[in-house]
Amino acid sequence: MKALMSVGALIGVLGLLMLIGMIFGVVPSNTVRLVEGYMPMQVLSELAVFVAGFTGLSYLANSMGMAIPRFWQGVLFWTFVQTYLKFRIYPPIPFSVRAMYGVVSFVAVFMWVSANEEDWKKFRQPILNVLDANTGFHKALRTLYLILLPILIGGFSFLTMKPSVDEPIELRTVHPAPPASTKVHGKTYTLQTSQNPYRVNLEGKYDQAYSNKLIVEQGMGRLMAPNANPWDEKAEGYLKYVREGGEIFFQNCHFCHGDNLNGRGLHAFAFNPIPANFTDPGTIAQLQETFIFWRVAKGGIGLPNEGFPWASVMPPWEQHLTTDEIWKVILFEYWHTGYYPRTWD
């Protein structure tokens, strides 16, 4: 038990040192990288490691006769959660969200310290001690609080009232409702019934089951399925169209959407809204191919107002590509990310 707890304590201390080091810039903040797509799991497991660490620490302190009062345990843990949220997670969480987490973790800590009468008493005692101020130390502490509290609260309200030049928050709909049909290069496409003319089997029939077998494999790396190389000279039909779509993608789209279709292209850093990340399960994986066709053909300028058409630099691709080229690019995007397009049924 003791050994186990010691290991826990060691982990806790190491983790804390690392976090503090990152905050003060001693330890580079990319020492343990948050990997995109795995971040929630990473954050949860990191927090679990910290909790284990704290348990160990508190056990060790107990057995050494230097028990940390329950009151301070609660305060410290709450402070830790706030620090972690503010400094560890990237992109930064806005203050309003952190405040929400703050309330939730406050309630959790409160429930923990008031789980039974004895615990609650232990938790309350330091507060009462200071309030009653029976000893000299507590008297000094009380005076300190009496002076500090008004200053802190006054200062905080001054900071919140001071006119700031923070970025205004504007919320944009990422996937606005599509129209029933769209007209591209003189031809009208009904979104509910149109199909990608290149998603075909070797007989030339529309066949999603066939193409699904040839897309890249999910999992780290997202590599092509064995024996399904679009660059194979003998590649025919679907795979050949994938290659053609890829050629168009890498002549036109990767500048923003990136070499790995993750929205991190050459020019992406300059633009807001940022280019869509197709590897994210929340983008093309959620959408029908015809929706993508509409979005690609009409571009940012063709968005309804909730999509901020004035800010998007997405080209209306009908100005640059033929309809066939657009369909092939879409085919490639699904192939390369390993997602199936959503169907209407």
CB of 215 within 8 A of CB of 334?
yes
Q: What is the largest CA-CA distance in the chain?
A: 92
Closer Cβ to other proteins, 137 or 231, answer by number:
231
Closest distance to other proteins from the beta carbon of 82 (Å):
21
Closest distance to other proteins from the beta carbon of 255 (Å):
6
Closer Cβ to other proteins, 98 or 142, answer by number:
142
CA torsion 45→46→50→56, rounded to 10°?
Answer: 50
Closer Cβ to other proteins, 12 or 245, answer by number:
245
Residue with tokens 């001054």: 158
Cβ count within 10 A of residue 98? 16
Closest distance to other proteins from the beta carbon of 259 (Å):
5
CB of 296 within 8 A of CB of 331?
no
Query: Cα–Cα distance between 105 and 55 in angstroms, integer?
Result: 17
Closest distance to other proteins from the beta carbon of 157 (Å):
4
Closest distance to other proteins from the beta carbon of 165 (Å):
4
β-sheet bridge partners, residue 200:
206
Residue type, 323: T
Closer Cβ to other proteins, 73 or 337, answer by number:
337
Closest distance to other proteins from the beta carbon of 131 (Å):
5
Please state whether the peptide bond connecting residue 273 to the residue before it is cis, i.e. omega within 30 degrees of 0. Answer: yes
Closer Cβ to other proteins, 156 or 206, answer by number:
156
Closer Cβ to other proteins, 52 or 248, answer by number:
248
Q: Helix and strand tally (H, E) in the chain? A: 11, 2
Terminal alpha carbon distance of the chain: 56
Break the chain down into helix, strand, coil percent, rounded to 5: 55, 5, 40
